Amino acid sequence: MTDGGALSGGDFVDKWSGSRMKQVTLPGGETVPALGQGTWKMAERSDRRVGELAALRAGIDLGMTLVDTAEMYADGAAETLVGEAVAGMRDRVFLVSKAYPQNASRERLRRACEDSLKRLATDRIDLYLLHWRGAVPLAETVEAMERLRASGHVRHWGVSNLDSDDMAELVAAGGTGCVANQILYNLTRRGPERDLLPWLDARGIAAMAYSPVEQGRLVRDERLAGVAARHGATLAQVAVAWTLRRDGMIAIPKAGTVEHVRDNRAAADLVLDEADLAALDAAFPPPGAKRPLEML
């Protein structure tokens, strides 16, 4: 990806595709597209493989060059799928993968990372995340992540599913190198707005929203219909655009077909106005008090 220096919330024209995409700036100045591609539940059926490969490649061509996966997804097969999809265009892609919490120790994280690198058929992971917090002390995970960064196995590291108190503990344990926190966030899961997102914003740490359409449930939620009709958009596009309204937020919806990818990409160009946002707040009220971070 580029070190183009775009401010969070700015636009950048992808030099390969010509696509203009809102960008998010990571700590250190590197920019990534605000709309990426998720791969949870991909690579689970062989009859869908051709379509999934085509979808990932189409997304990259449309400027959705951040691709998220994990060693957990399909027992590593999703990483293999991603590696095949990006073959021949690795330098265009910002690869994100995640390690199981039981693999986040000094002894095991390097081995888990190397296994992911083999499946991804690459020499580096652009952003490597702790998938969720487990029994390994955060200080030990920070040390292991920093070793991977120093060795060149990973370029950046971060976490996933950590709430504000966990993040404070992470930083206190030496984790100032954390650049992102991947969390469950969508119109029906607005708890992070009360505490966690302001905490991340204040420190310049990017938030990555997984399941921005709530595992497909928002695609059928008629509370989105009025806003969608005003823009000639789908319900899913409104849900994703709502997530992308925040500067510093990356959304990673999954799409298993080229048509679905194109629909997702259109959400990045959908600008919701104040009336739209007010209508969505009325239908999906923001949290009135702090809530524990949810995860799927």
Catalytically annotated residues: 73
Residue 65 carries which DSSP code? -
Computed on alpha carbons and rounded to an integer, the radius of gyration of the chain in Å comes to 18
d(CA 133, CA 104): 9
Please count the CA atoms within 13 angstroms of the CA of 17 that sit on its side-chain side: 20
CB atoms within 10 A of CB 287: 13
Q: How many residues does the chain have?
A: 296
Query: What is the three-class DSSP state of 14?
Result: coil
Q: Which of 35, 28, 37, 39 is nearest to 5 (CA)?
A: 28
Pairing, β 20-25 against β 31-33: antiparallel
Distance separating the N- and C-terminal Cα atoms of the chain? 29
Residues 6+ apart with CB under 8 A from 29: 3, 5
Residue 18 carries which DSSP code? -
